[in-house]
C-alpha cells in the first residue's frame, strides 16, 4: 500500500471528525468534579471576575461578558436562586438581590481557563416560556462551535453534559433574566478516544509500510 494513500485516508477521517457536533444532554446532577459558584456567598453590589475568582478560586473563570441592551427589570420571578449576577449598565457586573432592579441583556459569554464536559446554571426572573439558547465552544481549538443546548424556563439549577469538551458557554435570550448560580465542571481529563486510537494506528501503519519498502 502506498504511504500517500494511507495519509490521504487518515486525513479524510480526521477532517470529518473535526467537524462533528457534540451530543449535549440534560443530566440530573453533576457527576464529575465541579465548583458551585453561588452568588449568595458574595456581597450584593458591584463585582468583577477577579472578585468571583477570589471567592471561588478553583472555578477558573476567565471572563463574564453581558451584551447589554436598553431597559431594566425587577428581579421578582423565578427567585429560588437568591442573589444573582447581572450587568451594571456600564459594561461591568453587579450582584442584585430579590426585588431589586437590574439592567437587561440579550447574551452572556462565559470563558473558562480549561476544557470541561459538564456545566450547570440557574436563571432567575426569566418570564419567557420558550427555551434559552445555549452555545458551547472550544475556544482553545479555534474557536469552534461544539454543540448547543436548549435551557428550559426554571429558577432552579440545571445541568448538562457534552460528548465533546468546551471552554466557552454562551447564553442567548431576549427576555429579562439574571444568573443566581453557575456550576463549573473542572478540567476535563481526556480519555482514549477513537481519534487517538486512529492516529496511533495510522502511525503504526505508516511505519510498517516504510519498513516493507526498505526490505525490497
Q: Residue 70's domain is classified under what CATH number?
A: 2.60.120
The more confidently predicted of residues 175 and 149 is 149
- Weakest mean pLDDT among 3-7, 39-43, 175-179, 206-210: 3-7
The total number of structural domains in the chain stands at: 1
User: What would the mean pLDDT of 150-172 be, rounded to a whole number?
Assistant: 88
Strands (E), the chain: 24-27, 34-38, 45-47, 61-74, 84-87, 93-96, 101-124, 132-138, 144-151, 158-172, 178-185
Stated pTM of the model: 0.79
Whether 111 and 140 have beta carbons less than 8 Å apart is answered as: no
Whether 100 and 92 have beta carbons less than 8 Å apart is answered as: no
Whether 4 shows a pLDDT value over 50: the answer reads no
The answer to whether residue 53 is domain-embedded is yes
Whether 168 shows a pLDDT value over 60: the answer reads yes
Q: Which of 137, 193, 184, 143 is nearest to 165 (CA)?
A: 137
pLDDT of residue 131: 79
pLDDT of residue 15: 38
The answer to whether residue 143 is domain-embedded is yes
The answer to whether residue 40 is domain-embedded is yes
The answer to whether residue 16 is domain-embedded is no
pLDDT of residue 109: 97
The answer to whether residue 77 is domain-embedded is yes
What is the tens place of the pLDDT at every residue in 6-15? 444 433 343 3
The answer to whether residue 6 is domain-embedded is no
The more confidently predicted of residues 193 and 4 is 193
- Weakest mean pLDDT among 113-117, 180-184, 206-210: 206-210
pLDDT of residue 141: 74
Q: Is the dihedral of CA 167, 168, 171, 177 positive or negative?
A: positive
Which residue range is the domain that position 28 belongs to?
21-190
The answer to whether residue 8 is domain-embedded is no
Whether 146 and 138 have beta carbons less than 8 Å apart is answered as: yes
What is the tens place of the pLDDT at every residue in 100-109? 999 999 999 9
Contacting residues for 92 by C-beta, under 8 A, at least 6 apart: 46, 48
Whether 41 shows a pLDDT value over 70: the answer reads yes
The answer to whether residue 43 is domain-embedded is yes
Amino acid at each position: 500500500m502506498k504511504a500517500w494513500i494511507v495519509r490521504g485516508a487518515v486525513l479524510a477521517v480526521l477532517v470529518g471528525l473535526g467537524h462533528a457536533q457534540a451530543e449535549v444532554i440534560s443530566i440530573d446532577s453533576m457527576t464529575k468534579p465541579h465548583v458551585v459558584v453561588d452568588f449568595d456567598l458574595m456581597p450584593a453590589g458591584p463585582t468583577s471576575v477577579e472578585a468571583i475568582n477570589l471567592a471561588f478560586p478553583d472555578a477558573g473563570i476567565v471572563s463574564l461578558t453581558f451584551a447589554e441592551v436598553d431597559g431594566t427589570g425587577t428581579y421578582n420571578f423565578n427567585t429560588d436562586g437568591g442573589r444573582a449576577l447581572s450587568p451594571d449598565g456600564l459594561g461591568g457586573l453587579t450582584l442584585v438581590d430579590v426585588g431589586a432592579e437590574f439592567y437587561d441583556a440579550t447574551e452572556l459569554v462565559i470563558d473558562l481557563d480549561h476544557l470541561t464536559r459538564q456545566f450547570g446554571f440557574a436563571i432567575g426572573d426569566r418570564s419567557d416560556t420558550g427555551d434559552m439558547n445555549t452555545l458551547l465552544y472550544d475556544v482553545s481549538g479555534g474557536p469552534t462551535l461544539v454543540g448547543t443546548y436548549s435551557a428550559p424556563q426554571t429558577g432552579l439549577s440545571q445541568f448538562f453534559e457534552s460528548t465533546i469538551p468546551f471552554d466557552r458557554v454562551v447564553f442567548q435570550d431576549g427576555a429579562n433574566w439574571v444568573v443566581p448560580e453557575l456550576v463549573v465542571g473542572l478540567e476535563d481529563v481526556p480519555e482514549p478516544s477513537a481519534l487517538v486510537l486512529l492516529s496511533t494506528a495510522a502511525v503504526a501503519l505508516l511505519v510498517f509500510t516504510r519498513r516493507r519498502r526498505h526490505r525490497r
